[in-house]
A and B are shown apart, each in its own frame.
Chain A
């Protein structure tokens, strides 16, 4: 490979198959022995509008997107107009020969007969993206056979004739590029000898597989971007893995159904974005008050209101930390990448069951709808922990009995045990009460769980040297770009937070007190994590690097920020 990370961007109209083409090309790269990171941009439209996906390829794992590109696959002329400025010197553009392109300086042009070859393959315009992929694979020094095999696996079981047409289109594109542009071929993805088996997995797929791995039994999810993929995945595999997915009438119903199923003994979850969570707010506290285990996945996009439906944000942290009237123990986790999304989903189910309270897993759209390559996830060390759940008959059973750790024995209806699970303040049996001592006891019992939970929370992760000139603190998908930037500095470290409530105050305080200069990086307007850190540790972070335009924070922006601070000091 000529560069550490080679960035390919494929763009076109919504409906032209940009995302599936991007994933296909990614799998060609991973099967050839490389790692990839994909970044998808699209608008809330079904047809029309501009879609693009960036595929970053490297011999080493890639963690985040870049705002520069090396190879542009343009399925329409707009793609060239929009992304020309992102091209590094020496980049290439692959496009249909009918598009008129004024050759930009330092950029190589590869006009390909996309439409003609698609027609020749026998499928018409719809095959032009496959022709483009075939040609791209040729120009990137890739292996055609890997692509043909992938096409076969993708289509042959359902529609063998479509598999054949696509294979033909791929071959025509590949051969055209080889014959016409033999001198332009770069060795970016030649097949490596030992190609380790790697997955190309999207965030929502990781969340869904995490839930299935954790033994999810019931999921009620109302469609919303960016968690629709999670819903589709769970819906598709429900019969095979023996759980129920239900699309309810609204998010209010979603959370209440999930609470009902959990009360009846099923491992339950729901998922939504910020707007849907607004509707779930009353159910969130219901789970807290009734001490019903529940996993809520919140895929963040910029708000308020409809906001930017298909873009990414991190503006819901303080909302999740405070939503609902009154106090109740809530566990709030946030994933920094796709693998963390998978692992934290599994962990969320155990935490919910152990502590009998709602667990929210925050994931930003940049995680939900992006792909990354990983070695196959290992679930062998995961144990399902249902906590203090019993189906035995218990004499004089008290559902909300006061315990030192705040966690009472839980049972389910149908066991013969009598109990009331009550949204009203209740006594230890669950009967409604307004007696001062009982009200106080129950609040203290519930809230004492927060202390117990602390030992089970994920601890802050420190990347980079123990001592550094600059300490970055952040959460969510910024992790990827920060890690990419960190590759260039040896005097910068990074505290990545995945457990946000209960907050790891002591650990964060100790780390930040050692820091010489702290930069808080977030994708929201107010610096919500910085606010939380100040609340919990008393440390005020003065240097906030915030972005709230729906776009991810790119590695280059962080590098610039670090350099500007280093220059000042």
Chain B
């Protein structure tokens, strides 16, 4: 069984002290140990941003791709070997800005992926510019007089796009985030966790104190009601930020619906030269 220390690599995290990424890292590693995810059954895909360095700090096979493109890479992996647990680590800029289109279509197709959006409402690796999740009016290096744009709600967007498991977690609550990650992975279909993650260096508004004071857990709530889920997803304000599972729907995943994958994983199918006589006959 995999232990926490087995996950240690030679690299020390390069995130700023107090960065929300530490919480996501901790929660994910806890989930890995609890569930026995290892290099025989799991693979990670990351985009580019502060979150992307994640892959260096955990000894699990991973693909660090391009900014915004983690979901298509993960989709290809899942189709090639659908027995693998495929985790996508992405950021709010990565997943909602540069890669927004991939989020929409990955969700719509219901690939069996677990997508975590490291959501610090900012571009932080490039030293603090506005992101699609930044609040209106926020002063950043690229919006020195206040953000003229309005933020997107990743939760609303994911539900609307057709994701079948949509949740929000908080990087400062490691035990609950661990549980969310486990549940998201257990769900067969496209799972999105929007993880609220303070950027302690560039985003002074959304610090740990803010999230601790203004978030609450969704309780006595029916996550199978899509209409309710939309309503809840739009809730955002002082003392009014819901955390937990907003929406969950049972529906066959893309991979389950492919006849080519009924019996075997794709990569066990071929690599032997096929008899093409039938095909060639068609042209005669």
Which residues of A are at the interface with B, using a C-beta cutoff of 8 A?
A: 27, 30-31, 197-201, 205, 209, 212-213, 215, 217-218, 220, 237-239, 241-244, 246, 248-250, 252-254, 256-268, 282-283, 286, 290, 376-377, 379, 382-384, 386, 412-424, 431-432
A414 and B83 form a contact (CB under 8 A)? yes
4 smallest beta-carbon distances between A and B, as pairs = A260-B76, A256-B72, A199-B283, A261-B76
Instruction: Choose among A201, A260, A415 the residue that contacts B73 (Cβ–Cβ < 8 A).
Output: A260
List B contacts of A215 (CB < 8 A).
Answer: 270-274
Instruction: Choose among B45, B60, B270 the residue that contacts A243 (Cβ–Cβ < 8 A).
Output: B270
Determine how close the nearest CB of chain A comes to the CB of B41; give it in whole angstroms. Answer: 7
List B contacts of A205 (CB < 8 A).
Answer: 283
A413 and B61 form a contact (CB under 8 A)? yes
Given the complex of chains A and B, what is the CA–CA distance between A346 and B69 in angstroms?
A: 28
Most chain B CB inside 10 Å of its own CB: which residue of A376, A412, A420: A420
Q: Check: B104 CB closer than 8 A to any chain A CB.
A: yes
B283 and A212 form a contact (CB under 8 A)? no
Given the complex of chains A and B, what is the CA–CA distance between A218 and B48 in angstroms?
A: 25
Binds A, one of B51-59, B183-191, B245-253: B51-59
List A contacts of B269 (CB < 8 A).
Answer: 217, 242-243
B73 and A413 form a contact (CB under 8 A)? no
B76 and A379 form a contact (CB under 8 A)? no
CB within 8 Å of A: which B36-86 residues: 38-43, 45, 48, 52-53, 55-56, 59-66, 69, 72-81, 83-84
Given the complex of chains A and B, what is the CA–CA distance between A250 and B59 in angstroms?
A: 32
Given the complex of chains A and B, what is the CA–CA distance between A412 and B266 in angstroms?
A: 13
Q: Check: B145 CB closer than 8 A to any chain A CB.
A: no
B76 and A264 form a contact (CB under 8 A)? yes
Q: Known interface pairs A248-B72, A260-B74, A415-B40. Does A242 touch B270 (Cβ–Cβ under 8 Å)?
A: yes
- Please, which residue of chain B has its CB at the minimum distance from the CB of A285? B66
List A contacts of B64 (CB < 8 A).
Answer: 420-424, 432
A290 and B276 form a contact (CB under 8 A)? no
B283 and A200 form a contact (CB under 8 A)? yes
Determine how close the nearest CB of chain A comes to the CB of B14; give it in whole angstroms. Answer: 9
Q: Check: B237 CB closer than 8 A to any chain A CB.
A: no
Q: Check: B4 CB closer than 8 A to any chain A CB.
A: no
Q: Check: B102 CB closer than 8 A to any chain A CB.
A: yes
List B contacts of A267 (CB < 8 A).
Answer: 270-271
Interface 0/1 of B92-104, CB less than 8 Å to A: 0000000001101
Given the complex of chains A and B, what is the CA–CA distance between A386 and B271 in angstroms?
A: 9
Determine how close the nearest CB of chain B comes to the CB of A354; give it in whole angstroms. Answer: 14
- Please, which residue of chain B has its CB at the minimum distance from the CB of A27? B284
A415 and B66 form a contact (CB under 8 A)? no
- Please, which residue of chain A has its CB at the minimum distance from the CB of B57? A431
Instruction: Choose among B56, B63, B76, B284 the residue that contacts A257 (Cβ–Cβ < 8 A).
Output: B76
B283 and A414 form a contact (CB under 8 A)? no
B272 and A423 form a contact (CB under 8 A)? no
Q: Known interface pairs A212-B279, A267-B271, A413-B43. Does A244 touch B75 (Cβ–Cβ under 8 Å)?
A: no
Given the complex of chains A and B, what is the CA–CA distance between A248 and B39 in angstroms?
A: 28
B102 and A420 form a contact (CB under 8 A)? no
List B contacts of A382 (CB < 8 A).
Answer: 273
B39 and A418 form a contact (CB under 8 A)? yes
Determine how close the nearest CB of chain A comes to the CB of B86; give it in whole angstroms. Answer: 9
B272 and A384 form a contact (CB under 8 A)? yes
Given the complex of chains A and B, what is the CA–CA distance between A197 and B283 in angstroms?
A: 10
List B contacts of A218 (CB < 8 A).
Answer: 76, 79-80, 266
Instruction: Choose among B52, B63, B258, B261 the residue that contacts A290 (Cβ–Cβ < 8 A).
Output: B63
List A contacts of B83 (CB < 8 A).
Answer: 414
Given the complex of chains A and B, what is the CA–CA distance between A418 and B101 in angstroms?
A: 31
A264 and B77 form a contact (CB under 8 A)? yes
Q: Known interface pairs A200-B283, A261-B79, A268-B76. Does A241 touch B39 (Cβ–Cβ under 8 Å)?
A: no
List A contacts of B38 (CB < 8 A).
Answer: 416
B266 and A417 form a contact (CB under 8 A)? no
B66 and A286 form a contact (CB under 8 A)? yes
Given the complex of chains A and B, what is the CA–CA distance between A261 and B81 in angstroms?
A: 8
Q: Check: B105 CB closer than 8 A to any chain A CB.
A: yes
Most chain A CB inside 10 Å of its own CB: which residue of B53, B75, B105: B75
Q: Check: B9 CB closer than 8 A to any chain A CB.
A: yes
Q: Known interface pairs A263-B76, A418-B60. Does A198 touch B260 (Cβ–Cβ under 8 Å)?
A: no
A379 and B276 form a contact (CB under 8 A)? yes
A199 and B284 form a contact (CB under 8 A)? yes
Determine how close the nearest CB of chain A comes to the CB of B105; give it in whole angstroms. Answer: 4
- Please, which residue of chain A has its CB at the minimum distance from the CB of B279? A209
Given the complex of chains A and B, what is the CA–CA distance between A423 and B74 in angstroms?
A: 15
Q: Known interface pairs A201-B283, A213-B274, A422-B64. Does A414 touch B76 (Cβ–Cβ under 8 Å)?
A: no
List B contacts of A265 (CB < 8 A).
Answer: 80-81, 267
Q: Check: B10 CB closer than 8 A to any chain A CB.
A: yes
B84 and A413 form a contact (CB under 8 A)? yes
List A contacts of B259 (CB < 8 A).
Answer: 239
Instruction: Choose among B39, B260, B271 the residue that contacts A239 (Cβ–Cβ < 8 A).
Output: B260
A198 and B284 form a contact (CB under 8 A)? yes
List A contacts of B75 (CB < 8 A).
Answer: 246, 248, 253, 257, 260
Determine how close the nearest CB of chain A comes to the CB of B255; give it in whole angstroms. Answer: 10
Q: Check: B1 CB closer than 8 A to any chain A CB.
A: no
Q: Check: B11 CB closer than 8 A to any chain A CB.
A: yes
Instruction: Choose among B42, B267, B273 the residue that contacts A412 (Cβ–Cβ < 8 A).
Output: B267
Q: Known interface pairs A205-B283, A414-B40. Does A249 touch B271 (Cβ–Cβ under 8 Å)?
A: no
- Please, which residue of chain A has its CB at the minimum distance from the CB of B62? A420
B84 and A256 form a contact (CB under 8 A)? no
Given the complex of chains A and B, what is the CA–CA distance between A352 and B59 in angstroms?
A: 28
Given the complex of chains A and B, what is the CA–CA distance between A205 and B274 in angstroms?
A: 16
Most chain A CB inside 10 Å of its own CB: which residue of B69, B259, B270, B283: B283
B271 and A413 form a contact (CB under 8 A)? no
